[in-house]
Amino acid sequence: MVKGKIKLLKEALRSSGDIQTLDYPSGDPRLDYSQPRFGSGAKYSHICEGLRGAPQYSEEDCCGCAACESVCTANTIKTEDVNGKRVFTIDLGRCVFCGRCEEECPEDAIKLTSKFELAYTGPGSQNPANVRFERDLILCEKCGNPVAPVKQYKIYSEKVLKNLGEKWREQSREDIEKAGKLCRECRRRNAYTLNLHTRKYY
Amino acid sequence: MGLKQKARLYSPWVFHAHCSGCNGCGIEIAAALNPRYDPERIGVTLHNNPRHADIMLVEGIVAKQHVPFLKRTYEQMPTPKAVVAIGSCAITGGVFKPDDDKGPSYTQGGPVDRIIPVDVYVPGCPPKPEAIIDGIIKAAIILSKRD
Amino acid sequence: MAVYLPLWETVIICFTLPVAGFFLGVLFQSLIRKFTARFQGRRGPWYIVPKSLRPVVGSTRILQPFWDIMKLMYKQTLIPSTAQRKIFMSAPFVAAASLIIAIWFIPVIGVSAFGPFEFSLIVTLYLMLIVPLTIVASGAASSSPWGAIGSYREVILTLAYELPFIIGIFSTAMLTGILTPVYGGLPLIPGSLSITDIVNFQASHSISFFGFKIPAFFIILNPFAAVAILMSLIGKLKIKPMDIPDAEVEVIAGAYTEYTGKLLGVYEMAKIFLLFVSLTLFIDMYLGGALITVDYLGVPSFIWSGIVFGVEAIILILIISVVNAANARFRIDQAFTWYMKIPLALSLIGLVWPYIMVSLAGAGVNIGISIV
């Protein structure tokens, strides 16, 4: 028993010079991986490599395709089409910081930052967790249903036209202009009258 | 800042209420209170007695069977008091409440703020220990401004 | 005969000494927390808060226990409807008041209101014993099962540590009587039971220890009793291996479970007074009461006394903190058995040790120690 106590005392005296505590609330948040991260005298930054923190949304880059909504496992990102606008609501309270939205976004408009001090105080006050923004939609000329977001339509039509051969480009542009103003259902119904049936591009 | 506000800001004693969570947030709370992060530097100590505590840390979806106990525990705390909801389950129901249309899981008693007033929300699944300490400091600042 | 100070000085000391004792106790408690944290590899309460955090959490936490108490004083006080209201509410005040009175009887660096009273040691022991009694009463009165278990454990622990404590204290008090006429005197003359006399004896005598002249500290003359007393104080102060009555993870907070707000704050104050009283009593009994009567280097003697008191208190706190950090909690039966084995044996040896010393000296055997 005495031997064990002496060992414990030695351990206590040793660890008094071997402080394990990190200096979190005051520390330096800059990344520094060159220093040892454990043991005494650890230079520690509370932002580690690959930390998935709060998602950052760029409204400029977002094309409104809602791919992030379809992959969001926790229903953090929700979209709704109201009055010719696509409304995005992002509730950080549900987020599990999996990073799938970052992977899937075609325009790199969503990125997980290294910000982790996300505690917010009540829905009444200014709440950094809830983000809400809108994208304009193209509405169908005939029935008024939403077709696609304006920006997504523009970007993807340009991409399609760029990848097509020189021979069919003019023809396709005409088709896209005609069909782009109709919703899926109306396009199907009016395919014959507008001469939109399937062409062979070869 | 008066003596009252200072005293409340300087010694927030926390109480950990585990309300039918998966224990992920519980482990992170334990990690936040251990020597590695040592919140005793700013006066935070863990008291497993609601009667001594100022700040209650709630984690987990509150299952229906747990609702009366959470209410009772909250009422046992003397005023002024603050509640910190930790993790997405405590804030919104998380994965147990997939969609508003489909309704929550049949065991769920609702997010914490439907049962007791919540002051600080710490999102994350689970949140980092640093984020929990940040939430406790914010709750202490709220506490110091109470009457 | 007891020589008291003038009346107005006594009154001033009666008011200032408890206040000073409270703040010194707060400092001691804070140091215990800091040292314990250091031995556990933590930082403990920040004594100097980093600059970036100062607007948020303040600049220093040296007085952390004081802020805890102030916070409790500004909190709501809940009283269980099933509790025995009178006992429940009066117990913390009785504990704090008895310890404030105990401070009047204990000389701090030789300053004391009623220290010269002939039986001040016995009065102090009684007043210190009131604290566990109030804890037992409040735990039983709170009508909480945790309180009841806490009271039960408190009773057993008090019974265990009080026996070696009192035997050790009295065997030390006898030293003043036995060693004064040590050579050729009567060995069975009882000593003084006044703490001031004990302090003055240590200050006015010195011993030659194998030729070295050192102050006549009773820790050198009777080390067995000193160790036994220190072991008992660990139980009295609920330091780690002996914090059984209010073990957090076993019985929520023991007898304090149902206490909230101001009543808990008064109990925390009583704990701090108890820490101050215990350390001061130990210093008075065994470390010469930190009393220095010579003005060394032209500096007034009371400043030297204050420095010595601080150093001795910090050494004691260091010992207590090491014990606190390096030990796991005993079970109540283990604690009782341990107290009956080691501290009781040590205190009994301490009781016999002065007689052995005296009879050895009477028989002409040189044990290396002689009183000058």
CB within 8 Å: A20 and C57: no
Judged by CB atoms closer than 8 Å, whether chains meet at A25 and B133 is answered as yes
Look at residue A34 in the predicted model and tell me its pLDDT.
58
Nearest CA to CA, how far is A57 from chain C (Å)? 29
pLDDT above 90: percentage of residues in chain C: 36
- As for the ipTM of the complex, it is 0.91
In this prediction, the residues of chain B whose per-residue pLDDT falls under 50 are: none
- Interface partners of B (3+ CB pairs, < 8 Å)? A, C
| pLDDT band of C178, cuts 50, 70, 90 | low
Q: Where are the domains of chain A?
A: 55-138, 140-202
The share of chain C scoring above pLDDT 70, in percent, equals: 91
The answer, yes or no, to whether the previous bond of B80 is cis (omega within 30 of 0) is yes
Q: What is the pLDDT of residues C102-127, one digit of tens each?
A: 999 888 887 888 878 888 888 999 99
C62-83 pLDDT tens trace: 999 999 999 999 999 989 899 8
Contact flag A25-B42 (C-beta cutoff 8 Å): yes
pTM: 0.88
pLDDT in tens, C133-177: 999 999 889 888 998 999 999 999 999 999 999 998 888 887 776
Nearest CA in chain C to A19: C41
Report the alpha-carbon distance of residue C326 to residue A8 in Å, rounded.
6
Q: Determine the Cα–Cα distance for residues C244 and C159; give it in Å rounded to an integer.
A: 14
> Is the model's pLDDT at A188 over the cut of 70?
yes
Contact A87, A80 (CB under 8 A): yes
Q: The CATH number of B3-144 is which of 3.30.360.10, 3.40.630.30, 3.40.50.12280, 3.60.20.10? A: 3.40.50.12280
Would you say residue C359 has pLDDT above 70?
A: yes
DSSP line for chain B: --HHHHHHHH--EEEEEE-S--SHHHHHHHHHTSTTT-GGGGT-EE-S-GGG-SEEEEES--BGGGHHHHHHHHHHSPSS-EEEEESHHHHH-GGGS--TTT---TTB---HHHHS---EEE-SSSPPHHHHHHHHHHHHHHHHT--
Q: How far is C5 from chain A (nearest CA, A)?
A: 45
User: What is the distance in angstroms between the Cα of B124 and the nearest Cα belonging to chain A?
Assistant: 6
CB atoms C252 and B54 under 8 Å: no
Minimal C-alpha gap between A147 and chain C (Å)? 52
Higher-scoring residue by pLDDT: A120, A33: A120
The whole-number pLDDT of residue A33 equals 53
Mean pLDDT over all residues of chain A? 78
Pick among C71, C75, C76 to test the B interface (most B CBs inside 10 A): C71
| Pick from B42, B123, B128: CB nearest A92 | B123
CB spacing of B78 vs C75 below 8 angstroms = yes
Q: Cβ contacts of residue A93 below 8 Å, gap of 6+?
A: A129, B88, B91, B92, B121, B123
Closest CB from B88, B98, B135 relative to A93: B88
Q: A113: which chain B residues are within 8 Å (Cβ-Cβ)?
A: none
Compare CB distances from A15 to C41, C50, C327 and report the shortest one's residue.
C41
Predicted local confidence at residue C293, as pLDDT: 77
Contact A21 C326 (CB under 8 A): no
Q: Give C284 to chain B, closest Cα distance, Å.
A: 33
Test mutation, C31, C34, C39, C323, chain A, max A CBs within 10 A: C39
**Of A12, A20, A25, which is closest to C39 when you measure between CB atoms?**
A12
Inter-chain CB proximity A26 and C322 less than 8 Å: no
- Please check the confidence at residue A40 and state whether its pLDDT lies above 70: no
Instruction: State the smallest CA–CA distance between residue B33 and chain A in angstroms.
Output: 11
Residue A120 has pLDDT above 60, yes or no: yes
According to the model, what pLDDT value does residue B72 have?
A: 93
Residue A130, pLDDT score: 59
Chains in contact with A, counting 3 or more C-beta pairs less than 8 Å apart as contact? B, C
Yes or no, beta carbons of B10 and C57 under 8 Å apart:
yes
> Which residues in chain C have their CB less than 8 angstroms from residue A19's CB?
38, 41-43
Cβ-Cβ contacts under 8 Å, B13 against chain C: 68
Contacts of C50 in chain A (CB under 8 A): 23, 26
Mean pLDDT of A53-60: 82
Instruction: Please tell me if residue C75 touches chain A, with a CB cutoff of 8 Å.
Output: no
Q: Answer whether A26 touches C (CB < 8 Å).
A: yes
Tell me whether residues A21 and C322 touch, CB distance under 8 A: no
Question: Cβ–Cβ of A120/B130 closer than 8 Å?
Answer: no
Closest-approach residue (CA) in chain B for A91: B92
- Would you call B38 and C43 a contact, using CB atoms and an 8 Å cutoff? yes
Asked which of A103-107, A173-177, C250-254 is least confident by mean pLDDT, the reply is A173-177
Q: Is C41 on the interface with A (CB under 8 A)?
A: yes
The pLDDT, as a whole number, for residue A42 is 56
Chain-chain contact of C78 with B78 (C-beta, under 8 angstroms): yes
Residue-wise pLDDT for A133-156, tens only, equals: 788 888 888 888 888 888 888 888
Whether chain C has a CB inside 8 Å of the CB on A83: the answer is no
- B91 touching A (Cβ < 8 Å): yes
Kindly determine whether residue C76 and residue B78, on different chains, have CB atoms separated by under 8 Å: yes
pLDDT (0 to 100) of residue A37: 57
CATH class entry, domain A55-138: alpha beta
Nearest C-alpha in C relative to A1: C327
CB A27 within 8 A of CB A60: no
Minimal CA separation from C82 to chain A, in Å:
37
The number of C-beta contacts closer than 8 angstroms across A and B is: 84
Nearest CA to CA, how far is C104 from chain B (Å)? 29
Can you give the pLDDT at residue C187?
A: 44
Q: Three-state SS string across chain C, please?
A: CCCCCCHHHHHHHHHHHHHHHHHHHHHHHHHHHHHHHHHCCCCCCCCCCCHHHHHHHCCCCCCHHHHHHHHHHCCCCCCCCCCCHHHHHHHHHHHHHHHHHHHHHCCECCECCCCCCCCHHHHHHHHHHHHHHHHHHHHHHCCCHHHHHHHHHHHHHHHHHHHHHHHHHHHHHHHHHHHCCCCCCCCCCCCCCCHHHHHHHHHHCEEEECCEEEECCHHHHCHHHHHHHHHHHHHHCCCHHHCCCCCCCCCCCHHHCCCCHHHHHHHHHHHHHHHHHHHHHHHHHHCHHHCCCCCHHHCCHHHHHHHHHHHHHHHHHHHHHHHHHHCCCCCHHHHHHHHHHHHHHHHHHHHHHHHHHHHHHHCCCCCCEEEC
Structure confidence at residue A124 (pLDDT): 46
Residue C294 has pLDDT above 90, yes or no: no
A13-27, A34-48, A157-171, C197-211: segment of lowest average pLDDT: A34-48
- Using the Cβ of A16 and the Cβ atoms of chain C, whether some distance falls under 8 Å is answered with yes
Nearest to C71 among B7, B35, B42 (CB): B7
pLDDT score of A179 more than 70: yes
**pLDDT band, very low/low/confident/very high, at C339 (cuts 50, 70, 90):** very high
